[in-house]
Amino acid sequence: MRRKMAAGNWKMNGTRANLVEIDALIRDHGAAKSEVLICPPATLIHAMSGRADARIAVGAQDCHMSAAGAHTGDVSAEMLADVGASHVITGHSERRADHGESDADVAAKTAAVWAAGLVAIVCIGETLAQRKSGDTLNVIGAQLAGSIPDGATGANTVIAYEPVWAIGTGEVATVGQIAEVHDFIRAELAARFGAKAADTLRLLYGGSVKPANAAEIFATSNVDGALVGGASLKAADFGGIIAALDAA
C-alpha cells in the first residue's frame, strides 16, 4: 500500500516570520494519516526542520549534482541533509524553464539526492503547446525515461506530474487528463522497473490544487497525493488539502 503524500512547495516565498505556519500545521495536522512535507526556500530549512519535529517532513526545492566543489551559489544534497532536509524536489518546471535544466541534469541531481540518503521528488509535465499538439504522452514518456536514473524505488523516489499550463494559473487539469497521464506513468514505470517496484512509487499531481478541488483530484486513478504551490503557503489552505487526502 502506498502512503499518501501532501507536499508543499513554497517556491521563492517566505521568511522566518512565516515559520508560524508550521506550528499551525503541526497543531492541526500533526497526526495526519498522510505523509506531510513542506519544501521551503533553502534559507528556512534549518529553522523549519528544528521546529517541525518528526511529524512534518522538510525538504528542499533543488540541489547541485555534485557533493561539493567550486560551484558558487549552489547547495549540495549533503548540505541539505545536514540541516534537516529529508526530501529534495528535482526537475521542477520552473527550474527547467528558468535555468535550462535538461532531463540529464535532473537525472544527475536525482542521483545526488539518493547518494545523500534523501528522497527525490522528480517533476515532469508538458507545456500547453505540447498538449495542444497531441504530444503529452510522448513528452511525459521521454521526461520519465531521461530524468530518473536506474534504481528508483518507492523508498527513494516520488514522481510529481505537473502540467506546466496548470501551475499557478488556477487552471486545473481535468480528472480525465490527470488519470490518463498517471495511468500512463504507472505503466511506463512497470515496463522499466517491474510491476512490483512500480507499484511502490507514489505519483503526485501538481497544478492549482486547492482545498475546493482536492477531493476530486484525490479520487482519481493512480493519484497518491499532491505537490502544492500557492495553497501550501497558508496552513489553513494546506490543511484543507491534507484533510481531503486523509479522507480519500
Site residues (vs ligand 13P, CB under 6 A): 9, 92, 162, 167-168, 206-209, 227-231
What are 161's three cell numbers? 506530474
Q: Which is nearer to ligand 13P, 35 or 193 (CB)?
A: 35
**Residue of minimal CB distance from ligand 13P?**
229
- Distance, in Å, from the CA atom of 73 to the CA atom of 62, rounded to the nearest integer, reads 12
Catalytic residue among 29, 87, 92, 182: 92
Please state, in angstroms and as integers, the Cα–Cα distance from residue 67 to each residue in 41, 63, 111, 117, 123, following that order: 19, 9, 11, 12, 21
- Distance, in Å, from the CA atom of 137 to the CA atom of 242, rounded to the nearest integer, reads 29
Annotated active-site residue 162? The verdict is: yes
Annotated active-site residue 99? The verdict is: no
Q: Which is nearer to ligand 13P, 161 or 193 (CB)?
A: 161
Q: Which is nearer to ligand 13P, 40 or 206 (CB)?
A: 206
Q: Which is nearer to ligand 13P, 84 or 207 (CB)?
A: 207
Catalytic residue among 94, 101, 126, 162: 162
The alpha-helical segments, DSSP class H, found in the chain are 20-29, 45-52, 77-82, 93-99, 103-115, 128-132, 136-147, 175-193, 195-198, 211-218, 235-247
- Distance, in Å, from the CA atom of 94 to the CA atom of 166, rounded to the nearest integer, reads 12
CB of 168 to ligand 13P, least distance (A): 4
Closest CA to 141 of 156, 161, 158: 161
Q: Which residues are catalytic?
A: 92, 162
